[in-house]
Amino acid sequence: MPSIDIPPVSKIPSTKPDTRPLPRILCLHGGGVNATIFEAQSRSLIRHLQHSFRLVWADAPFFCDPHSDVIDVYGSYAPFRRWLRWLPEHAEIDAESCIEEIGYAIRTVMENDDSEGATGEWVGLMGFSQGAKLSASILLEQQAREAKARRERRSVDIGFTGIPNLHWRFGILLAGRAPLSNLNPEVLTSPALVGAGDLSEGFQFCKEVDEDTILRMPTLHVHGMADAGLHLHRKLLHEYCSQDSTTLVEWEVKMSSQPGSHTADADIPNKAQQEAPQGKKENMADARAPGHIAGVEGKSTDNTAADPNPEAARSHAKDGGQASIVPQKIQEELPESIERAVPNAIHDTGSK
């Protein structure tokens, strides 16, 4: 009797949830696109996370020409935007004004989301390309302010967004490039950072990144192995981020239809291999990222809270994952550091 292949049944609820009470992730698009395009490119990721997080899509403050990689599919989705300058033809702007404009754009989208009835805590940043660079830069700016407050034994100053009591917990960096941008030159003075108003392309990197310029907050780095900027993505991971707080997911991608192109619409892994720093390996099933879902083998290297006895991917919520409203599959896929950043009311790890 011939065997019958039964397609796997998705454990993701088919109903669209009310995301207003869920913890929120601010999503920052790349250069030469906009929030609408980034959201469209992230349709698969949305489907997997919409029962756990509310994803909020921000538009950058500066207009620019469309990125060449999105013209064929999204050429009619104008206006196209950027957060930072990377081409000489981008209008010059001083650092203070640039930081103020970025802060205003972010504050506006966050306040607009509040006005729509959203009440969840802002917990994370997710960015693609230039948006990933900015996400990491925002986390570094927060880290520097908080360190300064601890040294001076006083309360933390309000950041450049002007929103009080805002504390980001983690960043998801999709094809993010070094160097990071300096969003608080009064506190951050390292030459390893590019000025907010300066061109990031052609930046003269320092021999070594200063200790106080290394990002130590939890970050998930997603790298496409066919991306032409991979060396800069790896530089961000290895030189600007502490290896004790990073998770790396790599996959062999087919970026749109052009080899080496740079876009969030990409084939991504169905299964990823999880590696502890000691080289021991474990499986991380069905890893996901923005774009199309396709069966491509990849790997993930998790440097956060390495377990000396690696085992199969698992949830860190209480009672084997029962003390959580997050779907079990997603619990198992998330890095432990991100799991523990989610409020206990949503995902009870006993950490908060």
Domain ranges of the chain: 24-313
Please report, in angstroms and rounded to a whole number, the separation of the first and last CA atoms in the chain. 55
282-300 per-position pLDDT tens digit: 222 233 333 322 222 344 5
Task: Enumerate residues 6+ apart whose C-beta is below 8 A from 3.
Answer: none
Cα 43 from Cα 217, distance rounded (Å)? 27
Closest to 73 measured CA to CA, from 349, 257, 319, 268: 257
Domain range 24-313, its CATH number among 1.10.8, 3.40.50, 1.10.3470, 2.50.20: 3.40.50
Question: In Å, how far from its chain's centre is CA 127?
Answer: 4
Cα 152 from Cα 148, distance rounded (Å)? 6
Please state the pTM of the whole predicted model. 0.76
54-86 per-position pLDDT tens digit: 999 999 999 999 999 999 999 999 999 999 999
Cα 107 from Cα 110, distance rounded (Å)? 5
Closest to 175 measured CA to CA, from 312, 69, 46, 66: 69
Query: What was the pLDDT predicted at 323?
Result: 74
Question: In Å, how far from its chain's centre is CA 102?
Answer: 17
Relative to beta strand 80-82, strand 62-64 is: antiparallel
